[in-house]
Structure 1
Amino acid sequence: MSLSTILMTVFSTTLIYAAPLIFTALGGTFSERSGVVNVGLEGMMIVGAFSSTVFNLSFGNVFGAGTPWISLLIGGFFGLLFSLLHAVATVTYRADHIISGTVLNLMAPALCVFLTRIFYNGKGQTPVIDQSMGNFTFPGLANIPFIGKILFTRTSLIAYLAIFVGGASWFFLYRTNIGLRLRSVGENPAAADTLGINVAKYRYIGVLISGALGGVGGAVMAQSITLNFSASTISGQGFMSLAAMIFGKWNPMGATGAAIFFGLAQSLPIIGGYIPILSHVDSVWFQIAPYAITIIVLVIFLGKAVAPAADGRNYIKGK
């Protein structure tokens, strides 16, 4: 196998696995930049994966090749609805953010598997979808010598879209008035309140954006990798996204880069066989690598990364 083919396989597989992590890590960034800790990303991904798969199976014959793309919107919508529970609990009723997020992570798989059994005759998983995202070759760009084959041939279009969303998220948070206000309520809600900024409103915005992007992340996982929904469709990717957000220092571009790194770790069981130096390593090590790397990153960087000053702190007007 040629070097360019090996690099193409590694790069494209990495992007496929990175795409759901990028969307979800960006969602976590919005929530925590507004001051609401969101450990419920896993649950939001599960809801997005379930709802998008059900839509795909129900309307695949109607929308054809466009079905998986519409399914992303469906996953994002239901992820947003599910995150509303977290927003109400933490912003309106000032519940503990960690407990609220944990409840979402416990509720989502039980609810979605239960609904799966109702919709599909008692089965614990959905049928395999017929309309998936597949791979994409960029016209013109794929013809660039060497680089074109590696970066733009049989790759993941949704991953490039995710990277674009990462850049757009950075611009939104750091170059727009709404983004500045959202970050201000995560740094100093009392000062923001004195300037007339509605703290609760912007925290709701942050959490709901988080839910929408987390739902899209789960939908991408179901539409491009697992191709169905079951209890194991989302198995730790929400926590990996949380780690990517921390590793990226709560910055959209940093979170995007970290998510690509974790995507590489997740793709090791597949690409390991194509890399000569790794081809003789037991595949079990590749399967545990993403989770081990997540723990190591959190241990190393959690104490060094500085979160928004008011992240996780409930705000009571006048106190």
Structure 2
Amino acid sequence: MVAENATPRGRGTGHNPANRFQSARIELVDDGWYQETPLPRLTEVRLERAKSVISRNDSPDIPFDRSLNPYRGCEHGCIYCFARPSHAYWDLSPGLDFETRLIAKTNLAEVLERQLSAPGYRCQPIALGSNTDPYQPIEREMKLTRAALEVLLRYRHPLTLVTKGAMVLRDLDLLAELAEHRLVRVMVSLTTLDDELKRRMEPRAAAPAARLRVIRRLKEAGVPVGVLCAPIIPMLNDHELERLLEAAAEAGADSAGYVLLRLPREVAVLFEEWLREHYPMRADHVLGLMRQSRGGQLYDADFSTRMKGEGVFAELIAQRFRLARRRYGLERQRVEGLDCTGFSVPGAQLSLL
């Protein structure tokens, strides 16, 4: 039997470790007898009828308290994705399963309307696509993200949206109308300008040039748009930080953020395997700088440091980012200007008070 170790073309990883909740594990071993080339792993989509679609959080380092994710798992296959461990809750692997065995919330619009119409609901900006990308390839057929935008527009509910998918331009009509009412801000994730690094690290996400085109088109349509350089990875893309911000500013971005690479739970193992496969000569240096920035470990979940890290290298990145953000005029806040006062339930009786 062929071992699942080499990364298949178009995927972020070839590894599929058992999730941490399984009591038994099966390991595939290549004994040299099976000589046929294994078939490519196709994407499977499981349809889910969700009971609730708005997730809440009280994390002090996240600029929103609620989020909306149309999909579980993400076909973009970004090897560093912090959301990979969440697939274990569905008895699936954070590895190859995360990018090939997806779950779509088919009744998302219906449940979203019900939750927004609840008597006790209080409006605050909702983050669309905080865990997995709302514009991953299956959105082309499922159209769940577009359905969510239609509901939020009808209720005049503000939102922020993060994506590295060029498909967001399909919904430019809705985004432009949301922008007219000060209800939306889009953040485009831009991690590298190097097509080869993008191909290895984010195999099914849009190319760097396409993401810059997205920024440009959104700006031209009057949609507030910023750039999110996440993650910054030592010795892989950290040298691009200034160029990323410059390119984004030239394309029309007006705000910027960054996150130092996060490697929670199974992501650390998957990332190290990927790193030694694709960049073996740099692997120890990358991992050494990560440990230097995470208190000697590959990951530190402390709210005060998990996004930016600590230590000499992390502080250097922070200083470079602050200077470049100021230089290129990207200091607007991510949720600045979003209007919560227009929120209303369609057809509901207005208050007399």
TM-score by length of 1: 0.28
The higher relative CO (CA closer than 8 Å, separation ≥ 6) is in 1
Largest Rg, 1 or 2: 2
Q: Higher helix proportion, which one?
A: 1
* Length-normalised TM-score, structure 2: 0.26
